[in-house]
Structure 1
Amino acid sequence: MSSVPLEKLPHRHVLTLPSRPAAVRLARETAEQILIEWGIGLRHATVDPALLILSELVTNSVRHAAVLSPQLTVIYAAGTDSLAFAVHDRHPYQPSLYASVTGAGSGGLGTVMELVLGLGGTARVRGDADGKGKSIWITLPL
């Protein structure tokens, strides 16, 4: 799948949350609500894996970035044939996403990447301009 420029996705929603465990549930519930609003049924084959990916990424931010990032931001976007979302925090560490597929003990990121690749999606880490944070963007076909 070629990566769709995010600017071309007509649906957008941004959610900023405290970097606490409750953020995982809130990010997932918000995703379910906006997907319904955007006309993407929760029974669509991409939705359950997308929600799992989102939950893993938010969990990683809460576990590993909260010390430097008291808040995290989730950006949701969708178009007619793609769903994209990002989890942003202000921790400078940028994981190697594609290496996590083959790495031993890669845990949640390994699972994320197996799901993304299995769905024909893409994943990218984008560092903040100041080098003190990053976003992990996932794009999945619908």
Structure 2
Amino acid sequence: MQKHQKTLNGVEVVRRWTCHPRSVRLARAELSRALAAWALTEIEDAALVVLSELVTNAVRHARIPSGREIETRYALVGVGLRIEVHDAAEARPRRLAVGADAENGRGLALVEALADEWGISDRVGCGKAVWAVVSAAPGVGRSESAGVAERVPVGGTGG
């Protein structure tokens, strides 16, 4: 499943996954390892739910051309994390109004509730990046003296 790996100065992890439901579990495991390494386990629950929803949306709804993959990026920003999920589909996700008994359609509402901010950005070439920022409480995780207090640019997605 894991197709590509790149780490930039220890503050960004990039992976590519096949468009398959098991990629959700694998991406979650990778994010969990990164959060532990970055001492950001306080945000792990929220970050894993956000990632799960974004990758699940890409797997279920992004009708991507054969041979294309889903890319995840996890980047330190301030005292939190920017999560990005890239796919080659042009269709943009939208938050749905769902009934109380609906089995689907709550993913972006969960992302909105758990993330400090989220959005959709264009990519160079085809597709889009859906991103979210999840932050720890001030004073938790990496400190400003660790050199990661400023925003880390992530792959030119413009979010």
Aligned match of 2:46: 49
Q: Which amino acid aligns with 2:110?
A: T
Aligned match of 2:89: 91
How far off is 1:125 after superposition? 0.4
Matches of 1:24 and 1:62, distance apart in 2: 8
Unaligned runs of 5+ in 2: 1-8, 99-104, 137-159
How far off is 1:107 after superposition? 2.2
Q: Which amino acid aligns with 1:104?
A: A
1:7-31 per-position Cα deviation (integer Å, ceiling 9, x unaligned): xx96100010101011100100000
Aligned match of 2:121: 126
Number of residue-to-residue matches in the alignment: 121
Point out the structure with the larger helix share.
1
Aligned match of 1:3: none
Cα pair 2:40 2:80 within 8 Å, conserved:
no
How far off is 1:50 after superposition? 1.1
- From 80, 97, 102, the counterpart of 1:104: 97
Matches of 1:112 and 1:35, distance apart in 2: 18
**TM-score for the superposition, normalised by structure 1:** 0.76
Cα pair 1:19 1:66 within 8 Å, conserved:
no
Q: CA RMSD in A?
A: 2.0
Q: Indicate the percent of aligned positions where both proteins have the same amino acid.
A: 32
Aligned match of 1:140: 134
Unaligned runs of 5+ in 1: 1-8
Runs of 4+ in 1 over 2 A off after TM superposition: 66-70
Cα pair 1:94 1:127 within 8 Å, conserved:
no
3-state DSSP class of the match of 1:123? Answer: strand
Matches of 2:109 and 2:82, distance apart in 1: 19
Aligned match of 2:147: none
How far off is 1:79 after superposition? 4.0
Cα pair 1:10 1:77 within 8 Å, conserved:
no
Q: Which amino acid aligns with 2:52?
A: S
Which of structures 1 and 2 has the larger relative contact order (alpha carbons within 8 angstroms, sep 6+)?
1
Matches of 2:106 and 2:54, distance apart in 1: 12
3-state DSSP class of the match of 2:83? Answer: strand
**TM-score for the superposition, normalised by structure 2:** 0.69
Cα pair 1:12 1:77 within 8 Å, conserved:
yes
